[in-house]
Structure 1
Amino acid sequence: MSWRRGNTAQVPYQTPSYTIEYIYFELNHRWSHPKSWLYDQPFPAWSEWPINLQERYQLAEKLVGRETLIISIHSVQFRVSLENYTNKDWNQLLDLLAPMCGSLRMFALSRNIRYHESYNESTLAAAIGHLPQSEYADMPPVSHPHELYLAADGQEIERSYFTHVNGTRYPMQTITSNIYKPSNFYRDPRPASWPDYWLYPHAPNDPVRDPHSGHYPLCTYCKQETRAKGFGPRCTCRTHTLFRRPLVEIIQYPSYPGSEGSLNRGVRLLEDIAEGDVLDEYVGEYIPLPTHSVLQAFGDMVYTFSCHGPPIVGEDGEGEGEEMHNDEGWENAGYICGLKAGERGNWTRFINHMDGEQANCQFETHVAAGKVRILVVANRDLHMGEELCADYGPNYFA
């Protein structure tokens, strides 16, 4: 059957769980590469459908709902499943899809995939029925999908807000790199842990040449110094090659024991992850050492990390740049500043706490791609649908 975007016969037969994962991947690709889908037609005329596909489609609509089916059919991999799956695999796929209507709806709408319009304007809708307009179709626009979360009922879509200690609520914004404002540091004296060869204030994530050894810190991944261009071999790593940046969604989980009624947002994976993968960087805005008075002044008592300074580089130039994570290997083990992410950050700020070996990821401090960064690293192989949890311990969140 002609879907206008390529031939589904060229797409390999995959397992139902893979197809679910790929539905999200293709929806995200439509958002990030919209022009590549200009000629796609996910809804061929009903008269073109073979009788067996018509029956399969109509039965699926009864089992998972019209909206879920319409969103899913935007995926080429799903169309392959519709056409080619055995009855056993098809039924298994529908079982996996049935509870995901709210998740798929939020994922599609937050990425501006106007599936209502594309379906209702098709001849398919005229033949078998239109899709009522979603109450969320006109929701306020957000600059990034991770500024929304799926409520506990699995259906409601909510905007994430950060509550300042003074009670003011601010929309949570998504940023891609850390913010350094010198003015944030003027009110506080230079801490004793601040590197003696640095000016104060100074961008805390910027590795500086060690005057004692003459070397810059080594990148954890390429083992090259993080020196400026034109001064010999240097790190040329880029974050888009180092970081996995998996598909995730922010959802509401049950409140922690003892905190009943409080909002608990968390991160659910939408794809499989391998042990050791760097998922992303924890980003925010730099502030002075997060003492109680500093946290009160900046208003973020929940999403603030304490940050290490740059590593000391040894006389041989190798120093401590290769295996630095958590508190191990940093000669200047003291913290030099804080990093607050409540109002401006990314999805990593929603990772919940889990004790010790129950955690499936961890925060590690590394020199990577020219900066000192707090990275999220997978502790083990992870699977789609798992909640990401880390053991924050006493040394990270203030």
Structure 2
Amino acid sequence: MIFNFQNEYLNRQSTVQLGITSNIEPLAQAAGTIKEIFQDLQDQGQLLQRYPGTYKWKDPYSDIVNWNADLQTRYRTAVGQIGNEVMAMAMHSEPFENAFRTAQRTQWYNLMLLVNAEKTSLRMFAIARNVPYVRGYRAHGRNRFLRSLGRLNEHPLTNREEQSVNWHPHLIYLTDRGQPARCNFTPSDATGEKEMVNVFENRYVEDRFRRQSRLKNWPSGWGYPRHPQYAAMREGQDANWPACEHCGKSAVFGEYVKGRTVYTAWDEQSVCTCSKYGGKPWELEPLVEVYQYPSYTGSSFDINRGVRALQNIPEGEIIGEYCGTFVPLQEEEDTCGDDTFLMGWEGPSRDFFHPDAEKIRLLSGGLAGNWTRFMNHTDKEEEVSARMYQFPYGGKMRIIVQAARDIVFGEQILTSYGPGYFGGDGMG
């Protein structure tokens, strides 16, 4: 994806946050490097989680004894702008390190203007991905130049750098004080506050539904219980499944039985195999951060977490899937807390399969979910930047998140959960 700061954002950043009124064109050239810095830290963080104990970050200070006076001056000046800690974090990004070593004076000046504007987010982004900046810096602690800049504090969240971490980066949010904090969830069953969990697929426990009686509006022709995601067939037309939105082929023939899918037919020429070969098209997570915005109520006790884009996202791009735990309607009051993270899940599409289908279960992203659960709601149509749709992919119905328009770097990603959201009716 080609990254560009839009003029509106650049102008806002340059005049408000950066305190300058310079032409925005030179800044636009540096903007690509900003995106690359975030992308590189995210890629390395994912490798660290995937290969704990074996993946090693590059040492940006390996040749520090050979730095000339110009490099030392550039580094010292940058520390004065963004701080020693953020500078050490940024140096672990190869695009930033390359710019530090090779950028011309004007290019470096413009890059540092943007880094300074985003230094709080950059710091949180690096912390959440367990960048080993403390260890990397202290490994050269005897170097006279680094000693002259001062020591680094301990890692704010853990001292066990370069080890497998027990959180996903999107379980850390940036508070209004510029500090990282864990995302927690408070259910309604009086069990107390719990740390949120990140998942990439929806959770379904069949026994949880067996304990509840079959709903009156349960679709006719369906067994009970039934995995909520498996795409429904038309009654009397067992071979007619909805087409996968990704490949255009029919969804996999099959029925979910006790934790596995039993296939009644398999023809790889005509049947969707998206879930068999490769990942989902939105598995490459966008560059976003969970960010604390001003409270809707104005109370300091109400934490309003939202999602802030750290890249430009073009209109129409699928950027995620809303994930959570399937919950029977009868359990809503006991385990789901309030309606903040509840998504209604209907039966088969009302328009295509069962016109009379109604809400038959809930999808709760409160305890287990991903970054999409933090998207804030807006009633104003012109503010909506992402929409959620339910469609089949790889034999499963999913709720995907798609950019409703071009999203600008630094913008809050807003969606609409329906007209009754603030009235306590939860998501539509």
Instruction: Please report the TM-score for the alignment, with normalisation by the length of structure 2.
Output: 0.78
Q: For structure 1, which runs of at least 5 residues remain unmatched after alignment? A: 1-13, 313-318, 321-328
Moved more, 374-383 or 117-126: 117-126
Which residue matches 1:11? Answer: none
Q: Could you tell me whether the CA contact under 8 Å between 2:65 and 2:143 is conserved in 1?
A: no
| 2: CA distance, partners of 1:139 / 1:84 | 32
Q: Could you tell me whether the CA contact under 8 Å between 1:205 and 1:310 is conserved in 2?
A: no
Q: For structure 2, which runs of at least 5 residues remain unmatched after alignment? A: 1-27, 254-262, 421-425
| 1: CA distance, partners of 2:399 / 2:372 | 10
Which residue matches 2:86? Answer: 68
Which of 224, 230, 236 does residue 249 from structure 2 map onto? Answer: 224
Q: Could you tell me whether the CA contact under 8 Å between 1:162 and 1:343 is conserved in 2?
A: yes
Aligned pairs for 1:129-278 (under 5 A) are 129=147, 130-134=150-154, 136-138=156-158, 142-154=166-178, 156-167=179-190, 168-214=192-238, 215-228=240-253, 230-232=265-267, 233-238=270-275, 240-243=279-282, 244-257=284-297, 261-278=301-318
Per-residue CA distance 1:342-361 (angstroms, 9 max, x = gap) = 11111111110112221100
Which of 59, 75, 83 does residue 77 from structure 2 map onto? Answer: 59
Change (3 A) 1:259 1:192: farther
Q: Could you tell me whether the CA contact under 8 Å between 1:119 and 1:125 is conserved in 2?
A: no
Moved more, 293-302 or 356-365: 293-302
| 2: CA distance, partners of 1:266 / 1:17 | 23
Which residue matches 2:32? Answer: 18
Alignment of 1:40 with 2:70, yes or no, is no
How much has 1:157 moved relative to structure 2? 1.6
Which of 383, 395, 399 does residue 358 from structure 1 map onto? Answer: 383
How much has 1:369 moved relative to structure 2? 2.4
- The one-letter amino acid of 1:78's match is F
Per-residue CA distance 1:279-306 (angstroms, 9 max, x = gap) = 11111111123xxx63212233221110
Cα-Cα RMSD: 2.6
| 2: CA distance, partners of 1:257 / 1:51 | 53
Alignment of 1:297 with 2:315, yes or no, is no
Matched residue SS, 1:245? coil
Change (3 A) 1:55 1:259: closer
- The one-letter amino acid of 2:342's match is T
Instruction: Please report the TM-score for the alignment, with normalisation by the length of structure 1.
Output: 0.84
Aligned residues: 367
Q: Could you tell me whether the CA contact under 8 Å between 2:140 and 2:146 is conserved in 1?
A: no
Moved more, 46-55 or 176-185: 46-55
| 1: CA distance, partners of 2:274 / 2:331 | 34
| 2: CA distance, partners of 1:250 / 1:148 | 7
Per-residue CA distance 1:195-221 (angstroms, 9 max, x = gap) = 212111111111143342231121122
How much has 1:37 moved relative to structure 2? 6.0
Q: Could you tell me whether the CA contact under 8 Å between 2:88 and 2:137 is conserved in 1?
A: yes
| 1: CA distance, partners of 2:305 / 2:137 | 32
Identity, in percent, stands at 30
